[in-house]
Amino acid sequence: MERSVERRGGVALLPGALLAWPPVRIGLALTLAFYASNTGLFVVLTFFLQDGLHASPLVAGVTFAQAEHAYRQLVADWQGRTRRKRSRAWPPPTGRD
């Protein structure tokens, strides 16, 4: 479909030349694998909590809220470390000092 859009002179949402680049293909494959497995984990965990442990939907939701909070904290910590590493070299010296 995207190729036909490009042939008609339009702008494709995902250009075919981009998919020819190996890092993009690898990144898309890894993203697909991550989200497919992550969704499966949530479904299985929800079934286990509600059917296996006889937890209410509210308890299952609160479980996911805690996991989401921990994930956000890990990402924030990681971003803080990478920002500090980058900020040591930024801004580059201008020679005006």
Q: What percent of the chain has pLDDT over 90?
A: 22
Q: Which amino acid is at 55?
A: A
Q: Rounded to whole angstroms, how far apart are CA atoms 59 and 1?
A: 44
Q: Rounded to whole angstroms, how far apart are CA atoms 83 and 87?
A: 6
CA distances from 76 to 63, 64, 90, 97 (A): 20, 18, 20, 34
Is pLDDT of 82 > 80? no
Average pLDDT over residues 40-44: 87
Average pLDDT, rounded, for the chain: 81
Average pLDDT over residues 62-80: 84
The residue behind tokens 């980058």 is 86
| Domain limits, the chain | 18-87
Q: Against a cut of 0.85, is the pTM above it?
A: no
Is pLDDT of 87 > 80? no
* pLDDT category of residue 58 using cuts at 50, 70 and 90: very high
- Backbone torsions φ then ψ of 53, nearest 5 degrees: -100, 0
